[in-house]
Amino acid sequence: MRYSVVAALATAAVVGAGTVAAAAPQTPLVSDPAAYVDPLVGTGRGGSSVGEINNFPGPAAPFGMMQFSPDTDGSYAGYQYHSDKIRGFSLDHASVGCNAFGDVPILPVTGDVGANPWDRVERFTHDGEQAEPGYYAVTFPDSGVRTELTATTRTGMAAFAFPAGQNAQVLVKGGASLAGNSAAGLRITGDREVSGQATTGHFCGKPNKYTVYYDIAFDRPFTAHGTWDGKTVQPGSDQADAPKAGAYLTFGDAGVVHAKVSMSYVDVQGAKKNMAPGWDFAAMREHTKDAWRDALGRIRVAGKDSAQLKTFYTALYHGLMHPNTFNDADGRYLGFDNRIRTLPPGRSQYANFSDWDTYRSLAPLHGMLFPKEASDMAQSLTNDAVQGGWWPRWPMANGYTGQMTGDSSVALLSSLYAFGARDFDVKTALKYLVKGATSVDETPGAYQERRGIADYLARGYLPNNDASRGDHARVGASITLEWAIDDFAIAQFAGAIGERGVARDFAKRGQNWQHLFNPATGYLQPRGQDGRFPDGPAYQPPAPGTFGQDGFDEGNAAQYTWLVPQDTAGLVTAMGGPAAVSARLDTFFQKLNVGPNEPYMWAGNEPDFGVPWLYNHVGQPWKTQEVVRRIATTLFSATPDGEPGNDDLGAQSSWYVWAALGLYPPTPGTPDLTVHSPLFERAVLTLPGGRTLDIRAPGASTTTQYVHGLALNGHRWDRTSLPQSLARDGGRLDFALSAQPDRNWAATTQPPSYRDGEEPFVGSAANQVTVEPGGSGTVAVNGQRLGGHPRSLTVSTSAPAGITVSGPRSVRLDSRTGGGKTELTVTAAAGTPAGYYEVPVTLRGAGHSVSSSAIVVVAPKGSLAGAFGNAGISDDGDGGSANFDGAGNSYSRKALADAGLAPGSTGHAAGTTFVWPAAPSGRPDNAVPSGQKLDLGGTPAGRLLFVGSATNGDHRATAAVAFTDGTTATADLSFGDWVLPGGKTEPVFGNTLVARAAYRNQPGGQGSGASVYATSPLEIPAGKKIATVTLPVDPDLHVFALGLG
């Protein structure tokens, strides 16, 4: 672009504020970006929580169908740098988090094929291992075989160099996909060709499947061959059909054997037509490297640190691997309806969208730099929806997986559009986005785009119940937050294409995050089926062996509380303002890559990607610059272990690309860009139509991380956000950097937030209070100003008979933080029957109201109900509301009622009578013995026993009984395991079976039956009255009731 002398002088004045000398010689832009790519970067381990980064070193073309790469033994995604055995060189790969791809490994060996060739591996070392764009090579030290690989979009070529005098063999493991195979078959044709197919799938346990077809040609004849079925080897056989089908090909003393392999998802004929012509290995290698030079050259940077250049261009390389070409060279592809489709000329069909991971930072990169390919990606998703009936989540090949939470390919499409993808059927895309956001297929076993959507629409959030269960736990909060982002993205997309009504409706839904904000804790939290927030603090350390906190997918409340990229300003308001948020961010960034169970930053997982830029919203952009640089320079490096976690099809890598450029796309569905500090002295991004985005930062280095000035197109720009037009039209940015922070630069500005649809305030009441008859307790009521301006909120209650509520009837909201709290006094009249009472509480202000309620447990002092601390009974469909055994299992309320134990019912056991608890769903209903003293007040009885059970095996214990006359006795409090007493089904320890529920609730559905027992009764001498019962200490015993007779 033209750059006037006046503009240049203005820029010089701005950037002169930094410490960089303007006269310093400029570092040139790299001339060959591909030379800085090391495909071995990110093939090792990235952290203790998710150890595998899962990038692969083998050759592939940008967005190619084939990734011809080695698979190491035991790696679920293909290659692990720290392994020492290779099982073969397979056709397709991705940096996924579950077993996937790795189809049709091909392994060169010497000598006899052995009795179990399907299990054969070869030892390798990194001595002589080479990897670059379009090329990979490795030597097996035991056999001496040297393998070289190259690949185009749909074809791979291998050069196997066998030692002289050795019997050369090539094993084709047709049924050896990394996720296993449900079917596989191959045919040997003549003496130079093998073709076949392999069916696999079940990604992360999902029901998807796909079939890959392949054709392998050799440049010389094999002299012998055979097949196997995974059980026996058949010499001379020409075909095999079995899940572990394979073949061996013998070449004798062959020297170098070249093999070409092509693939298709349509049929073998498609694979044959996809095969690149000729046998010129060097030419194919150079052709693919040229493709990478062109693709990587969309961003040219200038820097002096070769390791940083290598880290940057390898990250960009990984970001351009996926999604993958899915159509054959003739335009045919297999649709989501399993019909063969044909694309219009010039179009491509793409597959494998890791959308939950990639919508945040990779989709904007694709849309901005590769609008043609991004348009085809958007049209591919639209084609999938038209053919399958629903918008796809994490589509793999031509099937739905529904993996991860949210509806994230919605946000992915919206971001592709926002950053430049325009050439697709936007009206049809919107039709299916709206369909999936308003309805769901309830057919048993059907793909469900948004399971529970009716509940979400009715409540404004998805309850944390069985409908919100993910791979690891219930994830209702995560789903709600992701759906709110997705709905916001629909609004932005709809508005951009002129559908204003849809945009208005979905913009309001984009604010559903506010329904999860708990003003009592200052966190976003899940809400149960009963609408309540969890008891206790918002962040609670997950139990050992779990992967995240209940309600959150791969994370916890401290990590997910920041996930409101569409309305960060609203979140800051809700959290008490900039000062409060800044302090919390300071604590959050004390650790940078902790995994899902600690309350700090997890840079290795996508939900936290955007958190460093929140400082830009609270007047401390210098801290954004500092944290981004810490992450980029301490957690990323040009080494095999050089990423903080799973790369997730380029998601992690794309984060680094933005971090190094000094820009970040913070808001899905918009072309917004926010700034930090560039790592390189210059970066030039090539945009469509010959436009460029030229980013200049003289003197940029690892230590000059702070911005002291910024100019946009020659004009001073003291803001941390850039015009939306920049991603489309390009321009020039001139940064002035320093090693010392400038606490004033851009401190009075904030990036855009989208606040339409915010409610005036949010509120909550404490879940439960326990009071004695004639006694009182307090219930805290909290309010927090959000989108309105109320100074106070009125409080109204409606108490049931026997309960009165007194105290202040307003909540004053602090003028600075917007928060406020009052405490109501709840009193139970003397003589109020023991039990559970619900007190509705309503907050009103600014024409808005928030309703909740508090449960009042009326329990005499020292009663068993007052000692209840565990929820062991759940409603069907909401099994996670109780956790009886510490593993998420619980009794079914319905199954117990069917067995005779309905809530509040009277039961009989061993000559005693007891009352079964009537606790509301999710409320404590049993006592875990920890030395509590129960006051029976001189109850006359001839027998005493306990009704309950044990978890995690059988447990023996006794309770101490004291009588009013000062004497004591010991009562048995031993229970058999609630599921398998004594490892069987019959009661143990003299227990009496009270009820046998036909099933129990467990994570993921119903489990086998469960029992409730009565202990062997204590016979009480005539005339004695029970004063107290002191329980033992045993965390695996559970008492639901006392039986007296």
Looking at residue 31, the DSSP 8-state letter turns out to be S
CATH 2.70.98.10: which residues of the chain?
55-283
Q: Examine residue 371 and say whether the peptide bond preceding it is cis (omega within 30 degrees of 0).
A: no
Cβ neighbour number for residue 780 with a 10 Å cutoff: 14
CATH 2.60.40.10: which residues of the chain?
761-858
CATH architecture classification, 299-562+574-738:
2-Layer Sandwich (3.30)
- Position 24 scores a pLDDT of 56
Model pLDDT for residues 566-588, shown as the tens digit of each residue: 999 999 999 999 999 999 999 99
- Which residues sit opposite 399 in a β-bridge? 396
Q: Which residues are within 8 A (CB) of 509 and not within 5 positions of it... i.e. 6 or more apart? A: 437, 483, 484, 487, 488, 491, 757
pLDDT over 90 (residue 11)? no
For β-strands 146-151 and 155-161, DSSP reports them as antiparallel
Over residues 703-730, mean pLDDT: 98
- Position 2 scores a pLDDT of 31
Looking at residue 242, the DSSP 8-state letter turns out to be S
The answer to whether 926 and 1039 have CB atoms below 8 angstroms apart is yes
Query: If you average pLDDT over every residue of the chain, what do you get?
Result: 96
Model pLDDT for residues 802-839, shown as the tens digit of each residue: 999 999 999 999 999 999 999 999 999 999 999 999 99
- Which residues sit opposite 710 in a β-bridge? 735
- Position 945 scores a pLDDT of 98
Model pLDDT for residues 301-316, shown as the tens digit of each residue: 999 999 999 999 999 9
Over residues 735-740, mean pLDDT: 98
The CATH number that domain 55-283 falls under is 2.70.98.10
Q: pLDDT-derived band of residue 26, with 50, 70 and 90 as boundaries?
A: confident
Over residues 633-638, mean pLDDT: 98
pLDDT over 70 (residue 498)? yes
Q: pLDDT-derived band of residue 51, with 50, 70 and 90 as boundaries?
A: confident
- Position 1004 scores a pLDDT of 82
Fold classification of 761-858 (topology level): Immunoglobulin-like (2.60.40)
Rounded distance between C-alpha atoms, residue 903 and residue 918, angstroms: 4
Greater confidence (3 vs 698) lies with 698
This prediction's pTM: 0.95
Over residues 277-287, mean pLDDT: 98
Containing 274, the helix (H) or strand (E) segment is helix 268-274
Rounded distance between C-alpha atoms, residue 519 and residue 535, angstroms: 13
Residue type, 953: G
Model pLDDT for residues 107-123, shown as the tens digit of each residue: 999 999 999 999 999 99
Containing 411, the helix (H) or strand (E) segment is helix 408-418
- Token code pair at residue 482: 């992701």
pLDDT over 50 (residue 17)? no
The answer to whether 133 and 288 have CB atoms below 8 angstroms apart is yes
Using DSSP's 3-state secondary structure scheme, residue 771 falls into: strand
For β-strands 183-189 and 224-228, DSSP reports them as unpaired
Residue 570 sits at φ, ψ, to 5 deg, of -65, -40
The answer to whether 685 and 722 have CB atoms below 8 angstroms apart is no
pLDDT over 60 (residue 21)? no
Using DSSP's 3-state secondary structure scheme, residue 387 falls into: helix
